[in-house]
């Protein structure tokens, strides 16, 4: 039986490299994978690094690169008076230094050092750095016997770091949720602003801006399925030309008023606010740095070196020159430019060749700008799924070299629908930009807080350094956040609402999933504690079993009493449980283990309670997705054998992130037979043939927990708490878990799978 799927979802945590081990209870053997199984950051040099650097232009920077389309009109609306020369110089100074302090210094030169060991970035990556996922030990995961299963761990003293874990997770998830909300507003703001250029040259089509924008957006989301690598080769040349156009027009416009270079003096920005006392100007200036979070969040799609090279040598100079040029034209031409600073400052006449060239590339660049936050959202959702903080929806890996490049169909279409609705509802571009800035500012504060903690707890630097970092960058973030928060009644409530909804979903999933995993861990059993066997002519020793032809062996399943601890060192027997004989049938059963850990999962116990029979070959399969695109078939299986009970095997299935999930029973049985011959060179051919014949009829068994809320005692409010708990777990989480099962990403045909339902009281 084979199962194919176009995508594989990584299990939470890394995987340890398999080794050959032998002990009294189980034996394993396999070809070495010859590679580490924990994903690491991409490391490239030479030409491959230059290619990757070029690709960043088309994926990461078009968001921040298209800000010149609307920033100056966000500061000084076309309906308002023309600002004075000093105000314009001060505003341009604030933009230049915002670009310098936040995208350049905070994100490109500092934050990129704080990605996860897998090379991922973003707010949630910072949280994972502080509280990293534990590696899954698959050697231990294949252990089905042993007297340590179910032992309680000693309680650990709670440190400050552990005490604030949940509050920090809530804050981090909120920042992540707002970044995902940003993925809705970036396409909406960017594309609408660019298409608005039509109205400058052709006022008669102003009513068609929204429909035209929607058509472009639908096309953008449709091409996401081709993957980041292919899109970057299409988009990067366009982004490259766009930045060249910004440089050229910027230099040309500066010649109208060279005195604009006084904006390089940061005191001009300070004097602007001292003179005008207009705090709301910061909400417009904030638009110049939208997209800086995408620089960090897209780290998993590329690497730190490629991002630094492209931003420092090309993107940053282009943006500075563009804003200096726009400021110079606004000072020189005043009212003639204020209507639409970007399009009115294009050299040459309106409707001229250069105007339409800029218009075409502006539209293309804004479509690419949307790509930055779309791919960032894909990366963030991948991190959340791998950390069990989001329902395990289907993911497709699109690159043969970079595991972080994924396409998530459900997220893509959800973003498309939300973006189209936002564009249609927010017909006023000013309200749309208000909503856009609030999400960005909140995420920036989240990043500063988490990064300051990483400095102390991960990098082990002095506390004073972490405090200093937060005071400096947190101060600037707070200034922008305060200005954007004032815009909540004017549209910023929309990303706030989206963020809160996503936050609720993620927190519910983390909370309920942790209870479900705890239930799974506590209910694992030592195989020898409930499966016994004897010889009808007398007791059977270990040596007898290995050399026997198995014709005179009876197997028994003991149902323990309610008070019998699952992890007890005491064997179950007739005195404390019901003895039920199990028939041995000539078939093969593959039990899929979802959660990691020693022992036999509750799925198997539930299975033999419902069907009191033992297949001849029983395989407990764990899956490990390794950080390479493909794994050769001969290196995919690591097999362990339980020596005290014949026919039980633990298997780790290693596959690459681009491999289809395809458990080839014949190849797996060949591995098992090779192991049997390794353990006992004198093993009979009849015994091996018995194993092979059993595999001709194989069944896959997948777990399904039917979660039920347990009653908790919290005093007088217990009825209310238990009612709310049952709503969250039984009415919401249970339905989500049914809609998005963990096996859905790597098991397909329902006709080939037996789902064993187990009531999980959590």
Residue 71 within a domain: yes
Say whether both 590 and 501 belong to one domain.
no
> What are the CA-CA distances from residue 609 to residues 203, 303, 470, 586 (Å)?
75, 51, 57, 19
Lowest mean pLDDT across 215-229, 466-480, 570-584, 706-720: 570-584
Long-range CB contacts for residues 454-459, cutoff 8 Å, separation at least 24 = 454/114, 454/126, 454/129, 454/130, 457/130, 457/161, 458/114, 458/129, 458/130
pLDDT at 750 exceeding the cut of 60: no
Q: Which range scores top for mean pLDDT: 208-222, 365-379, 419-433?
A: 208-222
pLDDT computed for residue 329 by the predictor:
95
Dist. CA 487–CA 493, nearest whole Å: 8
Assigned token pair, 438: 């609030």
pLDDT computed for residue 99 by the predictor:
95
The CATH number covering residue 243 comes to: 1.20.1740.10
pLDDT computed for residue 102 by the predictor:
93
Assigned token pair, 71: 């920033």
Q: Which residues contact 655 (CB under 8 A, 6 or more apart)?
A: 8, 623, 624, 625, 626, 631, 636, 661
pLDDT at 740 exceeding the cut of 60: yes
> What are the CA-CA distances from residue 726 to residues 506, 509, 518, 721, 723 (Å)?
18, 14, 18, 9, 5
Residue 9 within a domain: no
- The vertex-162 CA angle with 156 and 167, nearest 5°, equals 145
* Inter-residue contact 260 to 328 (CB < 8 Å): yes
Say whether both 416 and 382 belong to one domain.
yes
Dist. CA 411–CA 381, nearest whole Å: 8
Domain of 572, in residue numbers:
26-38+523-761
pLDDT in tens, 48-97: 888 888 888 877 887 788 889 889 988 998 888 899 999 999 999 999 99
Please give the average per-residue pLDDT across 648-655, as a whole number.
89
Dist. CA 382–CA 350, nearest whole Å: 45
Please give the average per-residue pLDDT across 669-682, as a whole number.
89
Q: pLDDT class for 27, splitting at 50, 70, 90?
A: very low
**Which of 514, 549, 564 lies at the terminal end of a domain, its last residue?**
514
Number of domains into which the chain is organized:
2
Say whether both 441 and 538 belong to one domain.
no
User: What's the DSSP call for residue 211?
Assistant: H
Closest CA to 648 of 605, 678, 614, 698: 614
Say whether both 418 and 445 belong to one domain.
yes
Residue 145 within a domain: no
pLDDT in tens, 142-191: 777 754 444 444 455 567 788 888 888 888 888 888 878 877 877 877 77
Backbone angles phi, psi at 301, to 5 degrees: -80, -25
* Inter-residue contact 320 to 251 (CB < 8 Å): no
Longest dimension (CA), the chain: 106
Say whether both 399 and 292 belong to one domain.
yes
Please give the average per-residue pLDDT across 727-748, as a whole number.
80
Q: Which range scores top for mean pLDDT: 298-312, 398-412, 711-725?
A: 711-725
Say whether both 565 and 436 belong to one domain.
no
Say whether both 499 and 533 belong to one domain.
no
pLDDT in tens, 138-150: 666 677 775 444 4
Say whether both 400 and 271 belong to one domain.
yes
Say whether both 483 and 583 belong to one domain.
no
pLDDT computed for residue 6 by the predictor:
31
Say whether both 551 and 490 belong to one domain.
no
* Inter-residue contact 465 to 459 (CB < 8 Å): no
């Amino acid at each position: 039986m084979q199962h194919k799927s176009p995508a594989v979802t990584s299990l939470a945590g890394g995987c340890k490299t398999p080794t050959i081990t032998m002990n009294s209870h189980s034996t394993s053997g396999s070809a070495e994978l010859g590679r580490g199984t924990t994903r690491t950051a991409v490391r490239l040099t030479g030409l491959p690094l230059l290619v990757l650097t070029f690709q960043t232009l088309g994926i990461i920077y078009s968001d921040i690169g298209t800000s010149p389309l609307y920033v100056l009109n966000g500061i000084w609306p076309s309906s308002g008076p023309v600002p004075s020369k000093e105000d314009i110089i001060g505003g341009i100074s604030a933009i230049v230094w915002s670009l310098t302090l936040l995208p350049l210094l905070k994100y490109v030169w500092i934050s990129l050092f704080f990605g996860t060991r897998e090379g991922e970035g973003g707010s949630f990556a910072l949280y994972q750095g502080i509280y990293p996922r534990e590696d899954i030990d698959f050697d231990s995961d294949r252990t089905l016997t042993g007297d340590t299963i179910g032992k309680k761990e000693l309680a650990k003293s709670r440190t400050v770091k552990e005490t604030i874990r949940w509050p920090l997770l809530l804050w981090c998830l909120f920042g992540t949720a707002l970044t995902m909300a940003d993925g809705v507003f970036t396409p909406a703001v960017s594309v609408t602003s660019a298409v608005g250029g039509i109205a400058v040259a052709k006022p008669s089509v102003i009513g068609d801006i929204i429909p035209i924008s929607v058509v472009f957006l639908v096309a953008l989301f449709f091409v996401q399925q081709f993957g980041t690598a292919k899109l970057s080769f299409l988009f990067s040349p366009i982004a490259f030309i766009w930045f060249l156009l910004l440089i050229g027009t910027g230099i040309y416009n500066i010649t109208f008023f060279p005195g604009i270079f006084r904006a390089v003096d940061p005191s001009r920005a300070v004097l602007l606010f001292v003179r005008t006392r207009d705090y709301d100007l910061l909400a417009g200036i904030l638009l110049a740095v939208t997209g800086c979070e995408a620089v960090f969040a897209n780290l998993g799609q590329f690497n730190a070196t490629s991002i630094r090279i492209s931003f420092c040598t090309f993107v940053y100079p282009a943006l500075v020159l563009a804003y200096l040029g726009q400021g110079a034209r606004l000072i020189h031409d005043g009212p003639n430019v204020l209507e639409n600073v970007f399009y009115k400052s294009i050299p040459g006449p309106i409707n001229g060749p250069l105007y339409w060239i800029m218009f075409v590339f502006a539209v293309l660049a804004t479509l690419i700008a949307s790509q930055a936050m779309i791919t960032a959202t894909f990366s963030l959702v991948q991190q959340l799924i791998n950390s069990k903080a989001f329902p395990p929806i289907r993911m497709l890996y699109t690159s043969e070299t970079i595991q972080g490049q994924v396409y998530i169909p459900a997220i893509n279409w959800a973003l498309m629908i939300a973006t189209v609705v936002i564009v249609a509802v927010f017909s006023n571009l000013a309200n749309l930009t208000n909503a856009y800035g609030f999400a960005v500012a909140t995420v920036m504060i989240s990043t500063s807080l988490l990064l300051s903690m990483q400095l102390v707890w991960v990098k082990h630097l002095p506390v004073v350094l972490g405090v200093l970092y937060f005071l400096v960058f947190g101060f600037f973030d707070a200034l922008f956040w305060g200005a954007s928060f004032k815009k909540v009644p004017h549209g910023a409530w929309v990303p706030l609402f989206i963020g809160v909804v996503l936050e609720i979903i993620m927190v519910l999933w983390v909370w309920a999933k942790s209870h479900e995993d705890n239930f799974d861990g506590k209910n694992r059993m030592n195989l020898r504690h409930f499966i016994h066997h004897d010889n009808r002519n007398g007791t059977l020793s270990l040596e007898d079993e290995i050399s026997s032809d198995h014709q005179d062996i009876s197997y028994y399943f003991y149902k323990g009493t309610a008070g019998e601890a699952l992890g007890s060192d005491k064997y179950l027997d007739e005195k404390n449980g019901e003895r039920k004989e199990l028939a041995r049938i000539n078939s093969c059963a593959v039990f899929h283990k979802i959660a990691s850990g020693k022992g036999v999962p509750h799925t198997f116990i539930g299975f033999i309670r419902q069907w009191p029979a033992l297949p001849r070959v029983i395989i407990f399969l764990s899956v490990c997705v390794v950080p390479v695109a493909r794994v050769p078939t001969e290196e995919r299986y690591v097999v362990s054998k339980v020596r005290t009970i014949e026919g039980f095997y633990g298997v780790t299935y290693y596959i690459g992130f681009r491999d289809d999930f395809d458990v080839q029973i014949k190849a797996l049985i060949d591995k098992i037979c090779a192991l049997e011959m390794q353990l006992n060179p004198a093993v009979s051919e009849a015994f091996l043939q018995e194993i092979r014949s059993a595999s001709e009829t194989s069944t896959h068994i997948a777990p399904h927990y039917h979660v039920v809320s347990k009653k908790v005692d919290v005093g007088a409010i217990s009825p209310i708490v238990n009612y709310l708990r049952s709503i969250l777990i039984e009415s919401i989480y249970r339905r989500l878990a049914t809609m998005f099962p963990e096996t859905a990403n790597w098991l397909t045909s329902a006709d080939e799978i037996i789902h064993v339902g187990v009531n999980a009281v959590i």
